[in-house]
Amino acid sequence: MVMEKTDIVMRHGQFERHINADPYKEFQDFLSNPDTFPLSQDGAEEIKRSLDAIQEKERISLIISSPYARAKESAEVSFSH
């Protein structure tokens, strides 16, 4: 019996917004150094909810992440969930 595999592409969770930051400047700062914008608590919860929905239908056997901090943090949330 051959098991079907399903590939799922998922983005990282939301970053921690800087309080009272100008959204345009914050976005420019993000583009120049994305690693200074870590995964927020809301972003981690977002990842967990997404994983719950996926795991109802699919078994996750492999997670591949980009090297950016928020993507790696999202992957770590996935492994610990």
Contact assessment for residue 65 and residue 71, using Cβ atoms and an 8 Å cutoff: yes
Write down the pLDDT at residue 69.
Answer: 84
Distance CA 61, CA 11 (A): 17
Contact assessment for residue 14 and residue 43, using Cβ atoms and an 8 Å cutoff: yes
Contact assessment for residue 81 and residue 45, using Cβ atoms and an 8 Å cutoff: no
Residue 66 neighbours by CB under 8 Å, 6+ apart: 72
Write down the pLDDT at residue 70.
Answer: 84
Contact assessment for residue 6 and residue 58, using Cβ atoms and an 8 Å cutoff: yes
pTM: 0.67
Write down the pLDDT at residue 35.
Answer: 80
pLDDT tens per residue across span 25-77: 888 887 888 787 788 899 899 889 988 888 888 777 778 888 888 888 888 88
pLDDT tens per residue across span 2-27: 667 777 777 788 877 766 778 888 88
Angle between helices 69-80 and 41-55 (to 10 degrees): 50
